[in-house]
């Protein structure tokens, strides 16, 4: 994702937007974009969603996730791999297989 | 992100969770994780957030974004680059520089 | 809703929480509770949701909505009636009947 | 809130929208409106938010909360009062006074 991150930084800096990008507001922006993605599915079955809109809204979500990670100098792939390792303990295969139950209720 | 995507698929398939992962519910999961990330900043200044919690919640957001993209066979970096190109038209530097105004009101 | 509003203020003031309740963070709290409500439906059909959890999470959403309205001295019923009047223009019966299309695309 | 509820039902039924209003999608709509409310505060200090927009977005949140409650025949004031009673146990004054810490960490 190095090219995407570089382009996002450049886009931000050309517009002098770093002043607005504190991590709290970046998290707000991420939540707002996640809701716009959700809206693509509103009142619809999963199959009825417009794929072009999914692409655009999902891209916005990922863009803010990358900007937030970058503001803390985090490596996005590393934090995902670390979290998977944690989730393997929260959701052992023996208990979680075939059930959507949350780990707090397993 | 190829390793993360491969691990996420494996994690999902070992638990037989693909049956739950339609794109609508994946979008719900993504919104829910985005709100958990937001909660790390609730009642706080941006600097007061716990970085370990940010890492974990941001990782969950990215994980669902990758799984949703994967369910449509989308290349996440490509859709981000495509969206940046669109945003360059919505937010021309001449109008957007130094202002946080939404494109609909520029 | 006068009793609920009075009890919410009392609950807040007994805990000396007004210091945290600026409108921005109240909006974060509202979004977070809305996501917890959403989680009751995650990976499920609408009928499978646990009604007790729906009640609790919906109550939290309404509680923060009332606290936010109260912080601005707004009458919640009045703002809802005013918004319905606006929506009658955005969604005229002749165009909107039987379709879930958003007003921007009607 | 009886008048608001009656008007919301009428608005919905004139447009034949009850067919879309299952509780899961109503919860999605509520989350989406909560995010639109959040957007009024994005990149801003709490005082900079536009009050007219706050009113409109908060009204939308409350409207969907009322419609969701109505779909289950719930009395909104009663569920809020019940939840406050629960929260008094989760957040005893002696532990919670003056701190924004979540009950799971008190």
Spell out, as residue ranges, where chain B has pLDDT lower than 50.
none
Q: How far apart are CA A59 and CA C59, in angstroms?
A: 33
C-alpha A78/C-alpha B63 separation (Å) is 11
Q: Is the pLDDT of residue D104 over 90?
A: no
Residue A71: list chain B partners with CB under 8 A: none
For C65-104, write each residue's pLDDT tens digit. 999 999 999 999 999 999 999 999 999 999 999 998 888 8
Instruction: Map out the domains of chain A as residue ranges.
Output: 1-74, 75-100+102-106
* C51 band by pLDDT with thresholds 50, 70 and 90: very high
pLDDT digits (tens, 9 = 90+) for C3-34: 999 999 999 999 999 999 999 999 999 999 99
Distance from CA of A47 to the nearest CA of D (A): 15
The superfamily (CATH) of domain D1-74 is MazG-like (1.10.287.1080)
Count of A-D CB contacts under 8 Å:
35
Task: Check CB contact under 8 Å for C43 and B20.
Answer: yes
Does ipTM exceed 0.90? Answer: yes
Considering chain A, what is the average pLDDT of its residues? 96
Model pLDDT for residues D38-90, shown as the tens digit of each residue: 999 999 999 999 999 999 999 999 999 999 999 999 999 999 999 999 999 99
Residue A39 CB contacts under 8 Å (≥ 6 apart), including other chains: A57, D28, D32
Instruction: For tokens 């570089």, name the residue.
Output: A6
Nearest to residue D46, comparing CAs of C72, C36, C64, B38? C72
The mean pLDDT of A73-78, rounded to a whole number, is: 97
The nearest alpha carbon in chain A to D28 belongs to: A42
> How far is Cα C2 from Cα C8, in angstroms, rounded to an integer?
10
pLDDT of C103: 86
Q: What is the least distance, in Å, from the CA of B11 to any CA of chain A?
A: 8
The band of D6, judged by pLDDT with boundaries at 50, 70 and 90, is very high
Say how far apart CA D96 and CA D89 lie, in whole Å.
Answer: 11
Residue A42 CA to residue C50 CA, distance in Å, equals 21
Sort out which chain B residues have CB atoms less than 8 A from A93's CB and list them. Answer: 14-15
Average pLDDT over residues A60-64: 98
Do B63 and A83 count as a contact with CB atoms less than 8 A apart?
Answer: yes
Question: Helices (DSSP H) in C49-106: which residue ranges?
Answer: 51-71, 76-90, 93-96
């Amino acid at each position: 994702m190095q090219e995407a991150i570089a382009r996002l930084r450049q886009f931000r800096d050309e517009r002098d937007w770093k002043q607005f990008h504190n991590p709290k507001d970046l998290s707000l922006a991420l939540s707002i974009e996640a809701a716009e993605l959700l809206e693509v599915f509103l009142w619809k079955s999963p199959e009825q969603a417009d794929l072009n809109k999914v692409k655009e809204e999902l891209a916005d979500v990922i863009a803010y996730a990358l900007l937030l990670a970058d503001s803390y100098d985090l490596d996005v792939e590393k934090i995902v791999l670390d979290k998977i390792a944690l989730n393997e303990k929260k959701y052992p295969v023996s208990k979680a297989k075939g059930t959507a139950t949350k780990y707090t209720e397993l």
